[in-house]
């Protein structure tokens, strides 16, 4: 459990406009050992030294390592990993102006997929909006994040159409994987299959009007959605858990993947 006054103290730092609980704990899907993810929504210049000073009063660690904005890459932005009372607490920066721009794009059916450390599928820009929609607002003195959260409760139909249409990529990937399988290139096939499963998870979430914000847990989440193929999660995990080594083994795995793609995309 985080200190009760921590969100308000973080909000008092110059630049921070709201603090939200995100991740599995916000969705009620946490394990006992799950981290506490705190989204720090900021505008303008963020006073990182002041943030570090606040964190130093609650963390178990001798040193507080907080990045500047952009320190963790173009999409995750930045933040720091703390331990408070033996519990892992992640501070994650989010530029609220950028989130608003992405929200405008989503309503128009536009999204990006960016290269980002920690996101092997790529970072889908729509995740910014999904994080807001699924978060628990902990501190929001001006109401800016709460107002945006209310707007994002309805999944944009144009975004759903765009993500469902992106399902064509799954078949394209399998065509490339089939060519590589003849040479026994397990690594390339495995990479293609991971992206295939990720694309299918995006399609299933979009079709159901549900936000997908992270690759972690995406297969299980997709399998629980209405409209998911029977036993989707088990079949998808089986593809990735035993890709194969020989051309024959790889071809069999790709064949099973084609069946799944056909059931999701057509």
Q: Which of 239, 167, 172, 24 is nearest to 231 (CA)?
A: 239
For position 33, what pLDDT does the model report? 78
Which among 206, 207, 197 is positioned nearest to 232, based on CA atoms? Answer: 197
pLDDT for 76 equals 95
The full set of domains in the chain, from first to last, is 6-94+134-151 (3.30.460), 158-264 (1.20.120)
Q: How many residues does the chain have?
A: 266
Distance CA 109, CA 249 (A): 39
pLDDT of residue 159: 98
**Token pair of 177 as six digits:** 């994987």
Beta bridge partners of 262: none
Distance CA 13, CA 51 (A): 6
| Tokens of residue 174, six digits | 């399998």
DSSP string of the chain, one letter each residue: ---TTHHHHHHTSTTEEEEEEEHHHHHT---TT--EEEEEEE-S---HHHHHHHHHTT-SSSS--BPPTTTTBTTTB-EEEEEETTEEEEEEEEEHHHHHHHHHHHHTT---EE--TT-TT-EETHHHHHHHHH-EEEE-TT-HHHHHHHHTTSPPHHHHHHHHHTTHHHHHHHHHHHHHHTTT-HHHHHHHHHHHHHHHHHHHHHHHT-----STTHHHHHHTSTTPPTTHHHHHHHHHH---SSHHHHHHHHHHHHHHHHHHT-
Q: What is the residue-level pLDDT of the chain in tens, covering all 266 positions? A: 789 999 999 999 999 999 999 988 888 878 887 899 999 999 999 999 999 999 999 999 888 999 999 999 999 999 999 999 999 999 999 999 999 999 999 999 999 999 999 999 999 999 999 999 999 999 999 999 999 999 999 999 999 999 999 999 999 999 999 999 999 999 999 999 999 999 999 999 999 999 999 999 999 999 999 999 999 999 999 999 999 999 999 999 999 999 999 999 99
Position of tokens 């099973």? 256
Task: Say what the pLDDT of residue 238 is.
Answer: 97
Euclidean distance between CA atoms 64 and 62, whole angstroms: 7
Which residue in 195, 201, 228 sits closest to 213, CA to CA? Answer: 201
pLDDT of the residue at 199: 98
């Amino acid at each position: 459990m985080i200190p009760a006054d921590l969100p308000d103290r973080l909000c008092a730092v110059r630049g921070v406009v709201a603090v939200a609980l995100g991740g599995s704990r916000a969705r009620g899907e946490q394990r006992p050992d799950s981290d506490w993810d705190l989204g720090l929504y900021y505008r303008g210049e963020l006073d990182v030294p002041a943030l570090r000073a606040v964190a130093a009063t609650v963390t178990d660690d001798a040193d507080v390592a907080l990045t500047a904005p952009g320190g963790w890459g173009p999409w995750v932005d930045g933040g720091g990993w703390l331990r408070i009372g033996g519990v892992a607490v992640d501070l994650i920066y989010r530029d609220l102006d950028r989130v608003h721009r992405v929200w405008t794009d989503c309503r128009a059916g536009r999204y990006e997929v960016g290269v980002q450390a920690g996101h092997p599928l790529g970072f889908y820009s729509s995740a910014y909006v999904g994080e807001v929609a699924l978060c628990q607002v902990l501190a929001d003195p001006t109401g800016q994040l709460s107002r945006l959260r209310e707007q994002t409760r309805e999944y944009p139909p144009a975004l759903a159409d765009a993500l469902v249409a992106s399902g064509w990529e799954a078949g394209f990937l399998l065509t490339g994987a089939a060519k590589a399988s003849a040479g026994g290139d397990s690594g390339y096939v495995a990479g293609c299959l991971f992206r295939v499963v990720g694309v299918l998870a995006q399609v299933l979430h979009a079709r159901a009007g549900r936000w997908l914000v992270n690759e972690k847990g995406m297969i299980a989440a997709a399998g629980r959605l209405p409209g998911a193929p029977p036993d989707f999660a088990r079949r998808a995990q089986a593809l990735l858990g035993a890709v194969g080594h020989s051309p024959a083994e790889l071809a069999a795995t790709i064949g099973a993947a084609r069946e799944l793609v056909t059931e999701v995309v057509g």
